[in-house]
Chain A
Amino acid sequence: MPPFQALLDEYATDVMGVLRGAVGRTDADDCFQETFLAALRAYPKLDNSENLRGWLLTIAHRKAIDHHRTNGRKPLPMADPPEVAVSDPEFREDGIWAVVAELPPKQRAAVALRYGSDLPHAEIAAALGCSPEAARRSLHEGIKRLRKELA
C-alpha cells in the first residue's frame, strides 16, 4: 500500500474539484475533510489498491450526498460569496462549472463525476448509490438542462 500522502499528492486536487462541483465552493472543504478522514480510517484494511482514484471519488460522492441529505431541501445559494483573499486559479467556478453548480444535486454529481472525474457509468452509479440506469438518467437530464441553460 503506498503511503497515504501519495494519494493526497495525486488526487487531492481532483477530489476537491469534484466536491466543488457537487456541493459548491463554500461547503467543499468540509466534505473534503470528511472524505479523506473516512479514507484514512479505511485505508489500512483496503484489499485492492488498483483504483485508488475511483475509490476516493466514490467516498467523495457519498459525502456530497450525505451533505445534501443533511441540508435537506434547503435551497442552494445562487452564487457563492467571493473569496477575495484567496486566489486559486485551478478552481475558478466561472463558465460551464458555474452552470453545473446550479443543477439539482444528483444531476450535478453525475455530470461532475462523468466530465470532471472521467468516471464510467458503473462507477458513477456506485458513487451515487443508485442503479447504472438511474445514473445514466441523471447524467442525461443534467446534460439536457445544461444545453438549455447555455443555449
Chain B
Amino acid sequence: MKASLQRLAERAEAEGLLDVAYANVDSPFGPLLLAATPRGLVRVNLPNYDPAETLEELAAKVSPRVLEAPAKFERARRELDLYFEGRLTEFDLPIDWQLTHGFRGKVQRAIKRIPYGQTRTYTEMARSAGNERAVRAAGTACGHNPIPIFVPCHRVLRSGGGLGGYGGGLPMKEELLKLEGVL
C-alpha cells in the first residue's frame, strides 16, 4: 500500500493535481509539518499546533487537493537538519506567500530578509514595512507568520530587549536565538 500511495503522489504531481504537498519532519522541538505548493513552501506547522487543523486550513484556503508527499521535502529536511546543527545560516527554498496579504505580507517579507544571528525590534519591522507607527500591527504580523523558522520571526524582539512572543512558545524562541549565537 505504501508504494501505491507514493506512486499516486508522483502521478498526481506529474498531472498537475498536487496542489498542496505536505510532510512531517523531525526537529529538536518535535515534529514539524511542512506544506508546499508548486510555487514553494507555503506553511510550516510548529509542534505545539494541531497538524490536522493546519491541513484543514490549507484545504480551505489553498486547495482541497492536499496529499502527503515526503519525497518532495528531501531538500527542506536536509536544510532544516543542517540549520538545527548550526551549520546552515540561510534557507534556500522558494517561498509561496499566498497565505499572507497587505501590511502583514510586507512585514513577513521584511522578516525573511533579517540575516542569521541578527535581531530586529517590532518597531523596526513596522518601519521596514512602510509604516513606522503600526508597531502593534507589525507584532500581529509576526504572530501570524505562516512559515516560521524559514521566515525567521524568532529574530524579532521587543524594543526594550524583551523576547516578545512566539507561536512555538518562548522556550523555542530562546533556543533558536541561542543556536544563532544571539543569546
Contact = CB atoms under 8 A, between A and B. Distances in A.
A5 B8 CA distance: 11
Interface residues of B, number: 22
27 contacts: A1-B59, A1-B60, A2-B56, A3-B20, A3-B55, A3-B59, A4-B59, A4-B65, A4-B66, A4-B67, A5-B66, A5-B67, A8-B5, A8-B8, A8-B67, A13-B1, A16-B4, A29-B7, A32-B8, A33-B4, A36-B8, A40-B12, A40-B17, A41-B15, A44-B63, A44-B64, A44-B65
A88 B2 CA distance: 11
Contacts of B12: 36-37, 40
B11 interface: yes
Contacts of B1: 12-13, 16, 88, 90
B57 to A, nearest CB: 9
Interface in A1-56: 1-6, 8, 12-13, 16, 29, 32-33, 36-37, 40-41, 43-44
Nearest to B18: A40
Interface residues of A, number: 21
A37 B64 contact: no
Given A12-B5, A32-B4, A33-B4, A40 B65 contact: yes
Interface in B40-74: 55-56, 58-60, 63-68
Nearest to A88: B1
Contact of B64 (A3, A33, A36, A90): A3
Given A33-B7, A90-B1, 19 more contacts: A1-B60, A2-B59, A3-B20, A3-B55, A4-B64, A4-B65, A4-B66, A4-B67, A8-B5, A12-B4, A13-B1, A16-B1, A32-B8, A33-B4, A37-B15, A37-B17, A40-B12, A44-B64, A88-B1
